[in-house]
Amino acid sequence: MTTRTPNLPVTAARAGTALALTSMVCVQLGLAASVAMIDQVGAEGAAWLRLAWAGVLLPVLVRPRPSAFTRTGLLTCAALGVVTAGVTMFFMAAAARLPLGTASALEFLGPLGVAVARGHGGRKLWPLLAAVGVLLLTEPWHGGTDPAGVAYALAAAVCWAAYILLTQRVGDEVAGLRGLAVSMPVAALVSTAAVGPFVLGRLTWELLLVGLGLAVLLPVVPFILELLALRRLTTAAFGTLMSLEPAMAVVIGLVLLHQVPGWAPVVGIAFVVVAGIGAERTGARTETRAESRAETGTEPRTQVRTAASAGHGAGGPLPEPGRGHPERIGP
């Protein structure tokens, strides 16, 4: 009797896609739940408060040990924290100066660029379909442009691209969630330096407690899910899947807020869904340096020694972050 073995790359791709989609849902729900806070402290203040609480929660929950990091791994985590704060703050500045659709379309150039640069052969079709879909979803031609706003949006795009690449690198370099326990405090410090002084005077104990609860929904849970997703997906596939987020925003707006979209967003949803399906089918990582130790918490040197003594290669058994996922205020 023959036993069928599971197709590990396909399984990993599906798991990574599910993690990425769940992250996007958390982002949209977190943004919807933050509306009242945005009215009181502004979009930048709400984003800063969530990042600040995330910078406290993750180190307390994960409790990373300095011995768990190499010098390169620690620097990579710090760099991830900087770009995490950057994508959040730059997008907020862009959205204050540009129509939201225009800012979102420009910001999406970041993950799109990663998808095109890292894609091979026919896989480049999916990010191109996603780009068309995002343009139809956001309809940037409906608004004017402000040079400063465009510059901020492009800076957010660069930070988002770096977030995707660095999140995957952190997932490879550092076991478990320890990388996020370093990157999030860095993001909190950078965002505090940028907007903290302008918001502190408006904070109340009630807002602090609400911010704590919202920080769990966004960004703590989405960033964890994206880190795990990028251990299983290529950066090209992940960048393409990010195009589904504005489509989710349109659907949530229709269901919860009764915002009926026009024909262009509906067609755009079809484009990004097809692109997402294509990315899921072709997006599994075929090599990994840290899948096993990321799942079990085994340290890098121990893992290599164990594999060498068993006579196996250094790669893990399964193919292996970000909206993030960077934090955003809309599609």
Half-sphere exposure of 32 (CA within 13 A, CB side): 15
What amino acid is encoded at 34 in this protein? S
Backbone angles phi, psi at 314, to 5 degrees: -80, -15
| Mean pLDDT value across the chain | 81
141-150, 269-278, 298-307: which range is least confident on average?
298-307
How much is the average pLDDT of 313-330?
Answer: 37
Predicted pLDDT of residue 154: 92
Residue 47: other Cβ atoms inside 10 A: 28
Domain parsing of the chain, residue ranges: 12-289
The answer to whether 254 touches 260, Cβ cutoff 8 Å, is yes
The structure tokens 């407690």 sit at 209
Q: How far is residue 91's CA from residue 112's CA, in Å, rounded to a whole number?
A: 16
Is 50 exceeded by the pLDDT of residue 302?
Answer: no
Predicted pLDDT of residue 301: 38
pLDDT digits (tens, 9 = 90+) for 29-83: 887 788 888 889 988 898 999 999 999 999 999 999 988 899 999 999 999 999 9
Which has more confidence, 142 or 222?
A: 222
Task: Kindly report the pTM of this predicted structure.
Answer: 0.81
pLDDT band at 289 (very low <50, low <70, confident <90, very high): low
pLDDT digits (tens, 9 = 90+) for 173-231: 998 999 999 999 999 999 999 998 889 889 999 999 999 999 999 999 999 999 999 99
Predicted pLDDT of residue 314: 33
Which has more confidence, 190 or 318?
A: 190
Is 50 exceeded by the pLDDT of residue 8?
Answer: yes
How much is the average pLDDT of 163-180?
Answer: 94
The answer to whether 72 touches 173, Cβ cutoff 8 Å, is yes
157-171, 219-233, 309-323: which range is least confident on average?
309-323
Predicted pLDDT of residue 119: 79
Predicted pLDDT of residue 241: 92
The answer to whether 28 touches 145, Cβ cutoff 8 Å, is no
Backbone angles phi, psi at 4, to 5 degrees: -80, 130
What amino acid is encoded at 25 in this protein? V
Q: How far is residue 98's CA from residue 94's CA, in Å, rounded to a whole number?
A: 6
